[in-house]
Amino acid sequence: MRRHLRRTVIGVLAAGLLATSGVSARADEQPGKVERALAAQLDAGQSGFWVRFARQPELKTAARITDWKARGEAVVSALRTKADSDQSKAVQVLRAAKADYVSLYIDNSIYVRNGSRELAAKLEADPDVVSLQAPKTYALPKLSTTPKANATAGLEWGVSAVHADQVWSRYGATGQGIVVGSIDSGAQYDHPALVQQYRGTNADGTFSHDYNWYDPGRVCPTDAPCDNVGHGSHTIGTMVGDDHAGHQIGVAPGARWISAKGCETPDGCTDVSLALSAQWMLAPTKLDGSDPDPSKRPNVINNSWSGLPNDPWYQDWVRQWVAAGIFTTFAAGNDGPACATVASPGDYAESYAVGAVDEHGAVASFSARGNPASGTIKPDIVAPGQMILSSVPGNRFGYSSGTSMAAPHLSGAVALLLSAAPSLIGDVQATRALLDRSAHDHDDTSCGGTPADNNVYGEGMLDVYEAVSDAPRANAGLLTGTVTDDTGKPLPGAKLSAPDSNVVTTGTDGTYRLYLDAGDHDVTVQSFGYATQTFHVQIGAQTTTTKNLELSTTPRSTLSGLVRDGSGHGWPLYAKLTIDGVPGQWYTDPRTGRYTIDMPVGTTHKLVVQPVYGGYTTTSVDVLLTDDLVKDVSIEIDTKTCTAPGYDAECQKVRGGLVQGVVKDANTNQPVNGATITRAGQSATTVTTPDDPALSDGFYWLFAPAGTEKAAVAMHGYQQQKKAVTVQTDWVRPLNFALKAGRLTVAESGVDATIRLGKSTQKTITITNDGTAPATYSIADTQRGFDLQQSLKAAGTTPVRRTPAQPQPGRITSGGAQPAAAQPAAEWWVPVANYPVPVKDNAAAAHDGLLYSFGGALADGTPTPVSFVYDPAQLQWRRLTDMPEARQKPAAGFVDGKFYVVSGWGPSGAPAPKTLIYDPAANRWSSGAANPKPWGAAGSAVVDGKVYSVGGCVDECQSATTDVTAYDVAHNRFDTVAPYPEPISWVSCGGIEGKLYCSGGLGSDGSPRPQSTSHSYVYDPATNSWARVADIPLDLWASSYAVANGQLAVTGGAAMDSTVLTNEGFVYDPGTDRWTALPNSANGIYRGAAACGLYRVGGLQDARAVPYTEQLPAYGTCDDAGTDAPWLTESVTTGTLAQKASVTVTLTMDSGELSQPGVYRSAVSVREDTPYAAPSVDVMLTAQAPANWARLSGTVIGRTCDGDTIPLAGATVAIDRRANSWTLATANDGGYALWLPGGGPKARVVVAAPDYRPASVDVALRQGSDTRLPFTLEPLYC
């Protein structure tokens, strides 16, 4: 049975379906700004709490200032000005209450140390206050006591591993002139390894702690620095420590350090101390907090502490530091080896996160890994972090492990880099780029990424010597140019170096940049296949010298050979071949195992051979060519795994051979990927071969027992094919397939007819099978919309409205101006009672004839738990029990009569994992399992009793994930399913006929900002896989979407590369794999919600949250089946066509099934059991009004108390004529229209609207007339 939303229409429907009667939430029902955790604490008594204000100003202009002092002052001034303005009213309240508080400008907040509920209520009333939040504490890793690590001649192994000592000796840079800051547990300032480097140490041996030490929690017994934990002394020692008595523990012993005690005890760091420390670093003060001086800020800040992943609470602080030119280092965290464990703040794009490696360069097991679905790579780099010797309180030295130890290696390296190249001071991005490109790659893609940049090692192992060598040092000049071959073609990958310099490589365009010390140099250029060239060049300090180079090719010979199994079978192997240090790759012939490579003579090269088949080892051999050479290579299996084809679990040979080949489509001759080949219990799947240009996609291989037996290949939509194949022992047998399938076409692209209302007509379409196999088909039609006939012309359509805008994908924590007036009325969309409050990022759903909306955020950006239900019978919204906690942009849906909220941003803005469950029957909430991937802005759909969450993002949504989870309602658990094919957020999704369809959205492809997409995919739970389907016609994201009439409807959103908001919409039919335009809505809105009906609720018009609710009639079928057009029938509905056969189908269009004249649209889809997209025919019927009918239309306006008039949207228009009655609602412009039989008795027309006096009139409807009947309603109260 099809389930419809309840309708209140009596008799015939016209343009307007539902009258509106607005209902407003009372003031005492408005959701507050006090987060629930704080409210509970205040209920129990006084508590400390945060008062948050609007976001900080843009600091881009300050970042362009080159003078260190002026830049710092500009940042602080801009932040102070914004904070002073926003916080003025709150400060007055706090002073009047004599409260103990501290104001922070760095993130525009106030911390109240011991406030009451009454004080919180007063602050909440301040319109500039965004939220009040409870304080938190963050963990400080414990120092471990591991055995001593090896060190070389007093030089700590980590210092040597990053080659800091080479920078000292080669370039004379030790960090001199650079200041490093530490936010940690403090420091023993007079430790032998730290005292000389403390900025507070005077030349005469006395100390000045002003501007050099800050203890916000007043933990230390005196004004001097202290360390009651030991962690801070250890990390500072790794940055700068040296006692000049054999303990060379610091990377930059010539740098100076300052410290803020953000971590009070071994139990952790309070957020208020961390925040105050962050602000102090931006402008250090005297001990009493006076005279802040931004010029004394450090060049680098080390943060060897962390919280949970995806927690944006500290992001403002980091951004302000970067704006002020401070390099910001964070430990990645110690929650490895699982993926997606890098902690905040290290996971921010603005932070430089450091993972840990051991003495052998292998990643430490505890080192946190990045999220493969996030679209970003974390950690950024790795450094020594296991068994690190450094200073600890008591003038001692101790060992510790953790990313806390790795981070100060990086911070010290930055100090060396800035010391050697002062022009980099303040240029954070250039410094990061140098560190990135000089790090040594380490291939580990187990958590995503590439061999060169992955979520385990980041860019690779830190090498500060390479970084300094590649930096614009004070006594160095830049040699640059382009390397080409003798035809002028650029040569990528050529290597250039001079004695005592680093090695640089030309880019794809052949260009290079090599920094050399001032003086004379002999530079060598090498490229595979070209003669090595050496040239002399004179370099001036701080100058640029250009030298273009042309390399001649060297004589070449041919290296060829056979790659075979070396463990017993001896069969040819399909393998990838690379040459060490040479770009490119080669492949053997998969059938013969033979290869051929053109190589230069006279040079020894290392040939690396890696079989494509799993279970074999990778082998390398040295090759010296003096002439053509044949080099065969035998590859042994990996005896650690014993998984190579043809070997058992004990690595023993099994009698048989290999079968391999390509599967193609017999109709198109295109490769078929994903087909399954089986023989004698063995199976394989065809795959793509993108890196081997000589081998087609659709390739497979499998091991099979010796002998003759049939092999079968199967793929959905194709006929199964079987072939007998004789497999020889220890050999390769080729076996290709061409799969047959039916393929249906329809001769007609469209059918249309024009008839009088009440008449019928017939048209025909012809379906042909031009494939290579029979095809079974079914025919169905689906309604596509209706345009009411106008007076003497065709029905109109609402124009496309693309409004220039700057749509924002992240959480918007402050509101814009008051909502603008509604756009002009849409021809199809009709207004419904406004939502009681302006709302955005809400969730909506239809259930049991009612429209529900849950949570979201209010106009000022405050997250809200308030929810409402709209009853079409009562024409009004009714408030529900509040959600247990606010949720913004969640994945959610009804299953078995209950509403499940499974993801989204919570009250604090962080992703909220708890599942919230609403029971409409009891009007009560409960909770379910925690979602491991609870991201906001995820796509949402219900499929077979599971609520899916697709992609999503955190906070500002500058990157997206590929995570997909399915909440199993029956078992209260989350299953992680196949990831989305690309990182995505704000995607539109729906469940149809047991599959999950998603389209559009905002992705992250490595560009500086997120990119919108029109890509669409379908997920099949049966195969746990995604497949591409037809792209949506426009790159929409943050649209309102719902499943209705068995189709995915997507309306509104941001489009055109995030430059406009649009009122356009589209509907996707899975049966035909086609998108069709929906009628344009009245308003260009994004970040709203939609539900079957088709309803749109709330959203943003640019930066303004709106309460608008609209409905598109005829989309009220809320089950998986499509809605048949009642006026269209087909003479044939199912059948099977032999190849090359045809069938003619008669379409009967009967307007006697219709009640109103106009243009009716449908689509006849031919669904088939083939691998191809089903053909579809657009059908349009124009039903003209009989000559004796009449059109009644008009506009309803209301008079205001000051005498002005306004259109009344949603006013009720009731028409009665004897036994017949009709009820409709006015559109946004107050208009209404209805066709009726003309003549006969007069009709009574009654118009009513809330707060206005009703009006009525009797009207005669003459046959063939167009009667205009306007109304002006008078107010009830003035």
The token pair that represents 706 in the structure block: 């010796």
Q: How many CA atoms lie within 13 A of 767 on its CB side?
A: 32
> What letter would DSSP give residue 1106?
B
| 847 given a catalytic annotation | no
**Structural domain ending residue among the three candidates 702, 735, 768:** 735
Q: Are residues 244 and 105 in the same domain?
A: no
pTM value is: 0.55
Nearest Cα neighbor of 184 from 347, 306, 303, 354 is: 303
Which residue matches tokens 């004839």? 849
Name the strand (E) or helix (H) holding 704: strand 699-704
What CATH code is carried by the domain that includes residue 100? 3.30.70
Q: Which residues contact 40 (CB under 8 A, 6 or more apart)?
A: none
| 404 given a catalytic annotation | yes
Distance from C-alpha of 1066 to C-alpha of 440, rounded to nearest angstrom? 49
Distance from C-alpha of 788 to C-alpha of 792, rounded to nearest angstrom? 12
User: Helix, strand or coil for residue 405?
Assistant: helix
Q: Which of 209, 231, 605, 847 is catalytic?
A: 231
User: Is residue 1028 exposed (0-12), middle (13-18) or buried (19+ Cβ within 10 Å)?
Assistant: exposed
User: Helix, strand or coil for residue 1003?
Assistant: strand
- Domain for residue 18, yes or no? no
User: Which domain does 675 fall in, by range?
Assistant: 657-735
The CA-based dihedral angle spanning residues 1107, 1108, 1112, 1113, taken in that order and rounded to the nearest 10 degrees: 80
Q: Are residues 710 and 620 in the same domain?
A: no
Q: Are residues 274 and 420 in the same domain?
A: yes
Q: Are residues 199 and 322 in the same domain?
A: yes
The one-letter code for the residue type at 34 is: V
Distance from C-alpha of 1013 to C-alpha of 960, rounded to nearest angstrom? 13
Q: What is the pLDDT of residue 809?
A: 75
What phi, psi does 428 have (nearest 5°)?
-65, -45
Q: Are residues 107 and 169 in the same domain?
A: no
Q: Which of 404, 949, 959, 1081 is catalytic?
A: 404
Name the strand (E) or helix (H) holding 71: helix 68-96
Q: Are residues 238 and 319 in the same domain?
A: yes
The CA-based dihedral angle spanning residues 418, 424, 429, 430, taken in that order and rounded to the nearest 10 degrees: -100
Nearest Cα neighbor of 635 from 695, 704, 692, 561 is: 561
What CATH code is carried by the domain that includes residue 237? 3.40.50.200
The token pair that represents 786 in the structure block: 């209706």
- Domain for residue 316, yes or no? yes
What DSSP string runs through 831-881?
Answer: EEPPPSS-BBS-EEEEETTEEEEE--B-TTS-B---EEEEETTTTEEEEPP
> Radius of gyration (Cα) for the chain, nearest Å?
36
Name the strand (E) or helix (H) holding 84: helix 68-96
Distance from C-alpha of 272 to C-alpha of 274, rounded to nearest angstrom? 5
Q: Are residues 495 and 465 in the same domain?
A: no
Q: Which of 86, 126, 184, 242 is catalytic?
A: 184
- Domain for residue 221, yes or no? yes
Nearest Cα neighbor of 672 from 704, 716, 703 is: 716
What CATH code is carried by the domain that includes residue 535? 2.60.40.1120
> What letter would DSSP give residue 192?
T
Q: What is the pLDDT of residue 1122?
A: 39
What phi, psi does 595 have (nearest 5°)?
-140, 160
User: Helix, strand or coil for residue 927?
Assistant: strand
Q: Are residues 191 and 306 in the same domain?
A: yes
The one-letter code for the residue type at 401 is: S
| 360 given a catalytic annotation | no
Domains in the chain, number? 6
* Residues 987 and 957: beta-carbon distance below 8 Å: no
Q: Are residues 455 and 323 in the same domain?
A: yes
* Residues 73 and 50: beta-carbon distance below 8 Å: no
> What letter would DSSP give residue 403?
H
Q: What is the pLDDT of residue 10?
A: 22
For the chain (length 1278 residues), average pLDDT per consecutive 10?
28 27 28 77 88 82 88 93 92 92 93 92 88 84 47 75 94 95 95 96 94 94 93 96 92 97 87 94 95 96 88 86 95 88 90 94 92 85 94 92 95 97 94 94 88 93 94 92 94 90 89 93 91 93 94 90 96 94 86 92 88 94 90 95 94 95 96 91 87 91 94 91 95 96 92 93 95 91 72 49 71 48 52 90 93 94 94 86 95 93 92 95 94 94 92 84 92 91 94 92 76 92 86 93 90 89 91 83 90 92 88 66 73 93 96 87 84 85 91 90 81 86 77 88 90 90 88 87
- Domain for residue 705, yes or no? yes
- Domain for residue 818, yes or no? no
- CA 980-986-989 angle, 5° bins: 60
**Structural domain ending residue among the three candidates 491, 526, 551:** 551
Strands 1134-1137, 1109-1115: pairing is unpaired
Q: Are residues 304 and 181 in the same domain?
A: yes
> How far is CA 655 from its chain centroid?
49
Output the CA–CA distances (angstroms, integers) from residue 320 to 60, 110, 283, 325, 851, in the order listed.
Answer: 10, 17, 11, 9, 44
Q: What is the pLDDT of residue 799?
A: 64
* Residues 1094 and 1108: beta-carbon distance below 8 Å: no
Nearest Cα neighbor of 471 from 510, 432, 508 is: 432
- Domain for residue 169, yes or no? yes
- Domain for residue 603, yes or no? yes
Q: What is the pLDDT of residue 313?
A: 80
Q: Which residues contact 684 (CB under 8 A, 6 or more apart)?
A: 676, 677, 700, 701, 702
Q: What is the pLDDT of residue 784?
A: 66
The token pair that represents 927 in the structure block: 């909770």
User: Is residue 487 exposed (0-12), middle (13-18) or buried (19+ Cβ within 10 Å)?
Assistant: exposed
Q: Are residues 529 and 582 in the same domain?
A: no
Q: Are residues 245 and 278 in the same domain?
A: yes
- Domain for residue 1139, yes or no? no
**Structural domain ending residue among the three candidates 135, 170, 200:** 135
User: Helix, strand or coil for residue 1264?
Assistant: coil
Distance from C-alpha of 628 to C-alpha of 815, rounded to nearest angstrom? 74
